[in-house]
Structure 1
Amino acid sequence: MDTSDIALADRARRLAADGDRRILGIAGPPGAGKSTMAARIVDELGGLAVLVPMDGFHLAGAELERLGRSGRKGAPDTFDASGYAALLARLRNPREPGPVYAPAFDRALEEPVAGSVCVPREIPLVVTEGNYLLLDEGPWAAVRGLLDEVWFVDADPRERVSGLVERHVRFGKSRAHAERWVAGSDERNARLIERYRDRADLVVRRQ
């Protein structure tokens, strides 16, 4: 980890040392590096932290088809936001016997997978990352109040878009399809997410 990563890990470690269960959110637009940052923080904290991704609450492909939302996969209404908020509430509840099981998202399958992440009761810090942690619209509005601290990851737009295209290609899209998807769906979502960055406790500028 470089110096800035170490400072972030130290900040997360202080949250973990508070005694009660704490939840750290890492937000930002698609391709900003949220997942990488969250994984590094959890690795640095060793057995003190568990990563619970928001992406586990993607609606399944069949349900998106039924709702006519497949072409907007990744937009706020293509997630089970109420289910995500309910999980965060369980994770915060000191009377929850545990362990709590959370879903994850399999990028190879492009589907959520239930019961993928185990959060034992004794783990003091949950790190959760995703696009919409700071939104105050609809069922997403409940999320911010369930997080003890939220960091917003800011990245150079050109590098972010380029990395997103490469990620889509890596997971099976043609380059032309990937470029259209990023320019349309991903960037519409990025503009929405950017509107809420001021609700974060910390803005982290990715180098």
Structure 2
Amino acid sequence: MRRIRGLEGRRVLVAVAGAPGSGKSTLAAALVARLADAVLVPMDGFHLDDRLLAARGLLARKGAVETFDAEGFAALAGRLAQPGREVVFPLFDRAREIAIAGAGVVEPAHRIVVVEGNYLLLDAAPWNGVRYDLAIALRVPEAELRRRLEARWQGLGKDAGAVRAHLANDLANARRVAEGSRAADLALVVEEAHQPEREA
């Protein structure tokens, strides 16, 4: 927290990146709650619509890197970095599985913008063209991710077959994040449930 508060600039971007189920949304929300001049911008607002994914044969892969509007996200990140301006952004409605345009706003007074998402540090264009003042990565062993993700999908009322399909997709995306991401400024390693450990 001290490190974030110490970032200099009229508008700073903090990335919180990690695999599905790593806890990045929880961490990002907690950071924003403790910073008076911060706002949360989730990457999930750039999910492609299910109709477009179905037409491209990608509906079963929803959540994979190719199912996001990456160029749109990169353009938004460039606008977010400009101090003193209002920036409107889309939010993802999980209950309806759709992105809603213009549902979130960064106010001119927001100095710290916390961006969270799976692919923020991916070492591929256009993701690697986005610059952050501080990048935080969450690293969770695959066995723990599997446990969390199974619980997530079961909690949403999915049957056993649907849970298996979602889990296979999520874990494939988790491996892409683990193998293809750039180094973060700060990594938080979770060896077991609810036991984060800081890594230099």
User: Common fold, TM-score beyond 0.5?
Assistant: yes
Separation in 2, partners of 1:203, 1:44? 20
| Cα distance, 1:140–1:69 mapped onto 2, change above 3 Å | same
Deviation string 1:112-148 (CA, Å, 9 cap, x unpaired) is: 11112110011110001111011122322322xx211
Separation in 1, partners of 2:151, 2:93? 17
- Contact conserved, 1:28 with 1:34, CA < 8 A, in 2? yes
CA RMSD of aligned residues (A): 1.6
Deviation at 1:56, TM superposition (A): 0.7
Separation in 2, partners of 1:197, 1:64? 24
Runs of 5+ consecutive residues of structure 2 not aligned to the other structure = 196-200
Instruction: Identify the residue that residue 174 of structure 1 maps to in structure 2.
Output: 159
Instruction: Identify the residue that residue 121 of structure 1 maps to in structure 2.
Output: 108
Separation in 2, partners of 1:60, 1:171? 20
- Contact conserved, 1:108 with 1:171, CA < 8 A, in 2? no
- Contact conserved, 1:12 with 1:41, CA < 8 A, in 2? no
Which structure's residues are more often strand, by fraction? 2
Instruction: Identify the residue that residue 38 of structure 1 maps to in structure 2.
Output: 28
- Contact conserved, 1:27 with 1:130, CA < 8 A, in 2? yes
Deviation string 1:137-196 (CA, Å, 9 cap, x unpaired) is: 2322322xx2111111012432221111222233342233113321x2111111111024
Deviation string 1:98-123 (CA, Å, 9 cap, x unpaired) is: 32111111111111111121100111
SS in 2 for 1:173: coil
Separation in 2, partners of 1:138, 1:72? 20
Instruction: Identify the residue that residue 6 of structure 1 maps to in structure 2.
Output: none
| Cα distance, 1:54–1:107 mapped onto 2, change above 3 Å | same
Which structure's residues are more often helix, by fraction? 1
Instruction: Identify the residue that residue 79 of structure 2 maps to in structure 1.
Output: 90
Deviation at 1:198, TM superposition (A): 4.9
SS in 1 for 2:104: strand
Runs of 5+ consecutive residues of structure 1 not aligned to the other structure = 1-8
Q: How does 1:12-161 map to 2 (within 5 A)?
A: 12-15=4-7, 18-45=8-35, 47-94=36-83, 98-143=85-130, 146-161=131-146
SS in 2 for 1:169: helix
TM-score of the aligned structures, taking structure 1 as reference length:
0.86
- Contact conserved, 2:25 with 2:116, CA < 8 A, in 1? yes
| Cα distance, 1:77–1:34 mapped onto 2, change above 3 Å | same
TM-score of the aligned structures, taking structure 2 as reference length:
0.89
- Contact conserved, 2:122 with 2:182, CA < 8 A, in 1? no
| Cα distance, 1:92–1:198 mapped onto 2, change above 3 Å | closer
| Cα distance, 1:48–1:82 mapped onto 2, change above 3 Å | same
| Cα distance, 1:93–1:121 mapped onto 2, change above 3 Å | same
